[in-house]
């Protein structure tokens, strides 16, 4: 059934034998196109943001600005399809890649890998370093390198 499949998916990206990979965390019952959600991941202090783009693409990032660690916000009204924006010094990041598009941030935003289960729920299942692809991050976590 669906729950069995869900458990399999989540376990696959979950805490490894070394205990270092962040455990999956359910962050929303659903996320509709045009919606965003602030959450904490991987730790209870770690600000993160999830966005469902208008075309359905689901993206997740650390919401800690790489400049001086202010909170990065989703601004749907900026850019052509919205952007991740830091109000402290007007830093901006591409919503689809996390790369810097404006302002002083020296690096893009680290990604938070998200998975959507059959019931529509959204789970955070891993993180990457800044500039690293989600795929590479998950492989590193899973020990597949
Ligand atoms: Fe984000 Fe300076 S802290 S732009």
- Mean pLDDT for 107-136 is 84
C-alpha span between 26 and 136 (Å, rounded): 22
Q: What is the mean pLDDT of the chain?
A: 83
Instruction: Please state the rounded mean pLDDT for residues 10-30.
Output: 68
Q: Is the pLDDT of residue 13 over 90?
A: no
For residue 28, what are the β-bridge partners?
122
Residue 12, helix vs strand vs coil: helix
Question: Ligand 1 center to residue 14 CA distance, Å?
Answer: 31
Exposed/middle/buried for residue 103 (C-beta within 10 Å: 0-12, 13-18, 19+): middle
- Rounded average pLDDT over 138-143: 51
- 121 CA to middle of ligand 1, Å? 31
pLDDT of residue 136: 53
| Beta carbon of 113 within 6 Å of any ligand 1 atom | no
This model of the complex carries an ipTM of: 0.99
CA of 72, closest atom in ligand 1: 1
Which range has the worst mean pLDDT, 43-52, 88-97, 108-117, 134-143? Answer: 134-143
Other CB atoms within a 10 A radius of the CB of residue 13 amount to 20
């Amino acid at each position: 059934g669906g729950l069995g499949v869900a458990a399999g998916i989540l376990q696959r990206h979950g805490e490894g034998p070394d205990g270092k990979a962040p455990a999956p965390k359910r962050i929303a019952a659903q996320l509709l196109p045009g919606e965003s959600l602030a959450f904490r991941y991987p730790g209870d202090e770690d600000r993160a943001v999830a966005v469902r783009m208008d075309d359905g693409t689901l993206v997740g990032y650390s919401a800690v600005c790489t400049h001086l660690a202010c909170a990065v916000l989703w601004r749907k009204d900026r850019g052509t399809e919205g952007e991740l924006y830091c109000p402290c010094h007007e830093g901006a990041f591409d919503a689809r890649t996390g790369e810097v598009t404006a302002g002083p941030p020296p690096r893009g935003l680290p990604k938070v890998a998200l998975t959507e289960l059959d019931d529509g729920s959204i789970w955070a299942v891993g993180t990457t370093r800044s500039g690293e692809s989600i795929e590479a991050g998950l492989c590193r976590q899973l020990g597949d390198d």
